[in-house]
Amino acid sequence: MELSSAKKKLTLFFSMLYISAFTFGGGFVIVTFMKRRFVDELHWLDEQEMLDMTALAQSAPGPIAVNAAIQVGWKVGGLTGMLAAVLGTVIPPVAILTVISLFYQAFEANPVVAMTLRGMSCGVAAVILDVAVSMGEKLVRAKNGIHLAVMAAAFIATFFLRINVIWIILCAGLIGFVSALLERKGMEKT
Amino acid sequence: MILIRLFLSFLQIGLFSIGGGYAAIPLIQEQTVTLNGWLTAEQFMNLATIAEMTPGPIAINGATFVGLKVAGFPGAVAATFGCILPSLVIVSILSLIYRRYRSLPMLQSVLGSLRPAVIALIAAAGINMLLQVAFGGRENISLTEIHWVGAALFTVSFLIMRKFHFNPIVVMAMCGVAGLLLGMIGIPL
């Protein structure tokens, strides 16, 4: 069953709108929902493609959900498909945050809201450190000396020396590039 | 002009946040609190909280929130567009390359080595937030300044997350209720 091109793009737009409006909890969650919709229900992509798109979305700069939407959009409907998918992804958070901001400015001084937000702040700190510890554990278990050194150096640079985050990311990328070059050279010799 | 400043700031956030939402947090913090002073540390904390409990990418939530606050709706649009522009260009190109060549070992290994740095950045952002709730900021670290209730709430949440892998939204909601209840019986955080 082949949908007409325009109808397909409309379906793409509304699928992303729906997924983006109702998935809490960041990029990986949204990618799971996209897989369910585009692979299992609509059969627009196969599973391997979706996995590759996820990996690329994760390792390219920018929000994972937007990156995944761009790729699905191109695949399904070219440039207009891509724009439809991105718009669908971006509209819900912009709309929701706009409403909350109005609410926030009106109620910033409200003691009930303030107490709730302060309580939740403790939770956010816990959630973020939990993520960092989980990922750090995996990295430590992988026992890659270069990666461990990069992690330690990056932490010192950002937390104690307060070096601009962008320099830290650029340096880490450069280290990765150089070590990939050296590895390739080593492989050519053997 | 403020719209251009917003656009350029969030362009950098979009360009350098690799690995999703949590990676964007330290960048948003740096651009909005440290470099431009658009938000106070406390307002940033609230932004992170709101972004975490609403759907959608944290960077876009952040762009909308900061843009609106600094320059109204045009500000939100400028910041959001800045935030997704790098993705539009880079991912489109990569997607084209992917569909032509299907495997990118060199790129994979470069991006793979960015991960440890990103983990360190996320950890540092988390610790800064912890210092904010436990001491009211990293300038005030001392035993006399400690906010015991906030520190306790953090510790309990962290242990619950580590041990039982609760849904983050549930943990945050419980923290919100705890903050409200404690506040009502006269124990402010």
Residue A190: its pLDDT value, please? 61
Asked if A25 and B171 count as a contact pair (C-beta separation under 8 A), the reply is: no
For residue B62, pLDDT beyond 80: yes
For residue B137, pLDDT beyond 70: yes
Show which of residues 37-96 on chain A sit within 8 Å of chain B, judged by CB atoms.
Answer: 52-53, 55-67, 70-71, 74-75, 82, 86, 89-90, 92-94, 96
Give the mean pLDDT of A143-148: 89
The residues pairing with B162 across neighbouring beta strands, listed in sequence order, are none
Average pLDDT, chain B: 86
Q: What is the ipTM of this complex?
A: 0.74
For residue B92, what are the CA distances in angstroms to A70, B42, B111?
Answer: 7, 37, 17
Pairwise CB contact (< 8 Å): B112 & A92: no
Residue type, B11: L
Integer-rounded Cα Rg, in Å, for chain B is 19
* Within-domain flag for B45: yes
The two three-digit tokens of residue B90, written as one number: 């880079």
B90-134 confidence digits (pLDDT tens) = 999 988 887 776 556 666 667 677 778 888 888 888 898 899 889
Q: Does B179 touch chain A (CB under 8 A)?
A: yes
If DSSP states are collapsed to H, E and C, what string results for A5-34?
HHHHHHHHHHHHHHHHHHCCCCHHHHHHHH
Range(s) of the domain holding residue B73? 2-104
For residue A2, pLDDT beyond 70: no
Place of tokens 């041990």: B163
Q: Does A159 touch chain B (CB under 8 A)?
A: yes
For residue B63, pLDDT beyond 70: yes
Asked if A172 and A150 count as a contact pair (C-beta separation under 8 A), the reply is: yes
Smallest Cβ–Cβ distance between B88 and the set A86, A123, A132 belongs to A86
* Within-domain flag for B86: yes
Residue B168: its pLDDT value, please? 72
Q: Does B187 touch chain A (CB under 8 A)?
A: no
* Within-domain flag for B77: yes
- How far apart are alpha carbons B105 and A143 in whole angstroms? 21
- How far apart are alpha carbons A70 and A66 in whole angstroms? 6
- How far apart are alpha carbons A16 and A30 in whole angstroms? 10
Q: How many other β-carbons are positioned within 10 Å of the β-carbon of residue A103?
A: 13
Place of tokens 């001392």: B142
Q: Which residue has the higher pLDDT, B109 or A118?
A: A118
Average pLDDT, chain A: 85
Give the mean pLDDT of A104-131: 82
For residue A58, pLDDT beyond 80: no
Region label for B72, one of left (φ > 0), alpha (ψ between -120 and 50) or beta (otherwise)? left
Task: Return the number of CB contacts < 8 Å for A and B.
Answer: 353
Residue from B130, B44, B151, B57 nearest A129 by CA:
B130
For residue A26, pLDDT beyond 60: no
B163-185 confidence digits (pLDDT tens) = 998 877 788 889 989 999 998 88
Backbone angles phi, psi at A110, to 5 degrees: -65, 125
For residue A63, what are the CA distances in angstroms to A100, B4, B47, B62, B187?
Answer: 21, 21, 17, 12, 38
Residue A10: its pLDDT value, please? 94
B139-163 confidence digits (pLDDT tens) = 878 877 788 889 999 999 999 989 9
* Within-domain flag for B15: yes
Residue B86: its pLDDT value, please? 94
Residue B96: its pLDDT value, please? 86
Identify the residue among A98, A122, A141 best suited for mutation to test binding to B, counting B beta carbons within 10 A and taking the highest.
A122
Q: How many domains does chain B have?
A: 1
